[in-house]
Amino acid sequence: MDTKHRIVIAGGTGFLGLNLARYLTELDFDVVLLGRHAPKASGAWRHVAWNARSVGSWVNELENATVVVNLAGRTVDCIKTPDHCDEILRSRVEATNVLGLAVREVESPPPVWVQMSTAHRYGDPPECICDEHSAFGYGLAPFVAQEWEAAFARAVLPEMRQVILRTSFVIGRDGGALQRLAKLVRWGLGGTVGSGKQGMSWIHAQDMNRLFYRAITDETMQGAYLATAPEPVSNAEFMRELRHALKMPIGLPAAGWMVRIGAPLLMRTDPELALYGRYCVSSRLRDEEFEFSFPDLTSALQDLYGPKTA
């Protein structure tokens, strides 16, 4: 590009944001990360502090920006205490609300808003395969997704092109929940969790970046999409493939009662993240012919953990 286009990534200092920032800066975008704290990694981006709750000088970054991408929200990888549940909800809704105020303060707001959401909006159906037309689920995560998307609908300017990415389990080597699972596998504890039948919908971090890029640049993209690879798998199959990729021949299974005790005590996380799941596919991405670099789990894990070729 002759002139750099500015991409503002709200909540951009975490795993997804930094992966996207690296990808976009390599494509010669000017990337601004809005975050409470400076990112741990360095790169060809700028960090601008915000508290994700109130308008401040960071608003100036939105003036004449090409796109705003909103990833802001407290991690769900935690014990679901009442305080944590409140923070999970408020962090998403408040950040989205304040971005809505911000785009109304600048003279030339970004013409595109790409909004993160979660595939967990469809709940935890044990067997059915969900796409964008499926019924939404019941429980904390579907409720948070509902309120998150409702806040976005109130915040976004009507003239903006609006894209919502309901994101599944993003797998990458340098962060995210896959690091935890890989550690368990290397300890010999990477067997089937619970029944092993629960669905695991996933997407390779590189395909997630490519999907963000398409949402940013493709003027035909509009509305809500499931951001997930076309081949979801069961927990048993996911753990088997991960053991194979890490060359670990054994993996002790974990019964449901063991996970309910061990997850909060040892991993400081919610056991239901492992015991429940969903099978999701995106009919919209299929119909719009988005080509995944890693459509199946075997190729995705081979890329992350296999030998690198020159």
CATH number of the domain enclosing 81: 3.40.50.720
Q: Token digits for 224?
A: 């809500």
Whole-number pLDDT of residue 77:
92
Whole-number pLDDT of residue 2:
38
Q: Report which of 75, 60, 81, 82 is spatially closest to residue 16, judged by C-alpha positions.
A: 75
Average pLDDT on 236-241 reads 98
Whole-number pLDDT of residue 308:
67
Total tally of structural domains belonging to the chain: 1
174: confidence class by pLDDT, cuts 50, 70, 90: confident
1: confidence class by pLDDT, cuts 50, 70, 90: very low
- Antiparallel, parallel or unpaired: β 233-234 and 199-200: antiparallel
Sequence-ordered list of residues with C-beta below 8 angstroms from that of 267, at least 6 positions apart, any chain: 180
Is there a domain that residue 33 lies in?
yes
Is there a domain that residue 153 lies in?
yes
Average pLDDT on 234-253 reads 97
| Residue 297, Ramachandran bin (φ over 0: left; ψ between -120 and 50: alpha; else beta) | alpha
Asked whether the beta carbons of 9 and 20 are under 8 A apart, the reply is yes
Is there a domain that residue 287 lies in?
yes
Average pLDDT on 292-297 reads 98
Is there a domain that residue 1 lies in?
no
Asked whether the beta carbons of 24 and 17 are under 8 A apart, the reply is no
173: confidence class by pLDDT, cuts 50, 70, 90: confident
Is there a domain that residue 159 lies in?
yes
The SS3 of residue 47 is strand
Strand partners, 114: 69, 163
Percent of the chain with pLDDT over 90: 94
Whole-number pLDDT of residue 15:
95
Is there a domain that residue 147 lies in?
yes
Q: Token digits for 99?
A: 């971005």
Is there a domain that residue 260 lies in?
no
Average pLDDT on 188-209 reads 97
pLDDT, mean over the chain: 95
Domain that holds residue 33: 6-176+201-230+279-293
Is there a domain that residue 191 lies in?
no
Whole-number pLDDT of residue 108:
97
Whole-number pLDDT of residue 261:
95
Between 308 and 162, where is the model more confident?
162
pLDDT tens-digit readout, 25-82: 999 999 999 999 999 899 999 999 999 999 999 999 999 999 999 999 999 999 999 9
Tell me the HSE value of 128 on the side-chain side, using a 13 A CA sphere.
Answer: 11
Whole-number pLDDT of residue 231:
98
Task: Report whether pLDDT(247) > 90.
Answer: yes
- What is the phi/psi pair of residue 46, to 5°? -115, 140
Task: Report whether pLDDT(310) > 70.
Answer: no
Whole-number pLDDT of residue 266:
86
118: confidence class by pLDDT, cuts 50, 70, 90: very high
